[in-house]
Structure 1
Amino acid sequence: MTEGVAQAVRRRFRTRDWGETRVSRLTLLTTRDCHLCGAARADLDRVTAATGQAWAEVDVADDPEMAREYGDRLPVVLLDGAEHGYWDVDVPRLVRDLGGAS
């Protein structure tokens, strides 16, 4: 992830943790009219249930640099700012990588 994209992610995150705002290890990059994004949100909610780790969502349409970098691969899951996967969420791998049970 380029530094500009990393800054945009930090600037635009919204955590899905009962309204509590904090930096999350998990970020889901999405955009409007993304047919795979709903499934990715549900998968990340499953990860949260398994690990207690909240996640943030960023719409790349709000940032031209992010839209250029990620627009054809959405949704994208970032773990600690690095790309963990795209198009679908590998729930067992993500839970394992977060240090939880698989």
Structure 2
Amino acid sequence: MSWVILILSGVLEAVWATALGKSEWFTKLWPTVTFFVALILSMAGLAWAMRDIPTGTAYAVWVGIGAVLTVAYAMLTGTEPVSLVKVLLMLGLIGCVVGLQLVGSAAPEA
């Protein structure tokens, strides 16, 4: 269950990062509200997941998911240009996140 919460928290990281950009320095109401709600839920989920997942692994997975989804959304909406190199780097991040999950779940309990 911790991994599910961590993944959802990573998705919420992408939501708050995107909302932060759209809030225009907190001058637009709904992007600002979205930012704060997603931020709180994302951080709470990360903290909850870190009860069972090592801190370094949890944080790297959380950031990786948030980064990939934020860039993917920006590319899909035309905010950021698409390039083969960016797509390959995003796939590399996804591979690292999956690898950390596999290594993290294989680690013995302390």
TM-score, scaled relative to structure 2: 0.29
- Indicate the structure with greater helix content: 2
Larger of the two Rg values belongs to structure: 2
